[in-house]
Amino acid sequence: MAIKLDKDVEQRLLGSIQRYCAENLDEEVGDLKARLFLDYCLREIGPAVYNQAVLDAQAAMQNRIAEIQTECYESEFSYWTK
């Protein structure tokens, strides 16, 4: 599944890549190089990050589901124990 970014997010990422290269690598990077690097990251790194995020979300949901029994439990036959 290809990762599609909103145009605004993509533009902000391209600007961030260009700034990073200028400040940390002492190299000015144009739009084309920044776009190629972003495309590489989305294709090569993106799926690993996405898959980990899905696993994290799944674990969080399983933890919440496990808590349902304790949070949503009502004692049975409690009328005579008042």
Q: What is the pLDDT of residues 2-21, one digit of tens each?
A: 789 999 999 999 999 999 99
In the chain, DSSP finds a helix count (H) and a strand count (E) of 3, 0
* 2 lies in some domain: no
State pLDDT tens for residues 24-37.
999 999 999 999 99
Instruction: Look up the domain containing 60 and give its range.
Output: 7-71
* 78 lies in some domain: no
Token code pair at residue 47: 């799926």
Radius of gyration for the alpha carbons in the chain, expressed in angstroms and rounded: 24
Number of domains in the chain: 1
* 12 lies in some domain: yes
* 19 lies in some domain: yes
Q: What is the pTM of this model?
A: 0.74
Q: Are residues 17 and 34 in contact, defined by beta-carbon separation less than 8 angstroms?
A: yes
